[in-house]
Amino acid sequence: MILRSVVEKISSGEMEEDEFWFVALEFAEVVVERARGMFKTKETCDECDDYIIEYYIVEIMRFFFGFSPILFYAFLRDHMELRDFLNLKGA
């Protein structure tokens, strides 16, 4: 859960890098959890579901950071913690 003080800093535009990463990782955790819950069903657990889930996660997180696809994957190479949170098989 994001602390009220962090929310206020986001709203004011004054955010430290560590606070930004806290928000980004919290957001990533929610995106991954929701994506796996939305698309993974017992009757359709096949490889295509995994591709849809990963596409959804990548596009949401790419939008969050404001990167083009190629820059986002380069960014992921350098940020191990985010990559671990996203748990992408294809990245």
The string of pLDDT tens digits covering residues 2-12 is 667 767 777 78
Burial class (CB within 10 angstroms; exposed 0-12, middle 13-18, buried 19+) of 50: middle
pLDDT, residue 42, reads: 60
pTM of this structure: 0.73
| Residue 13 covered by a domain | yes
pLDDT tens figures, 10-49: 778 777 788 788 888 888 998 998 888 887 666 655 666 7
Asked if 19 and 6 count as a contact pair (C-beta separation under 8 A), the reply is yes
Rounded distance, CA 60 to CA 68, Å? 12
| Residue 67 covered by a domain | yes
| Residue 91 covered by a domain | no
If one counts the domains in the chain, the total is 1
Asked if 19 and 4 count as a contact pair (C-beta separation under 8 A), the reply is no
Asked if 38 and 13 count as a contact pair (C-beta separation under 8 A), the reply is no
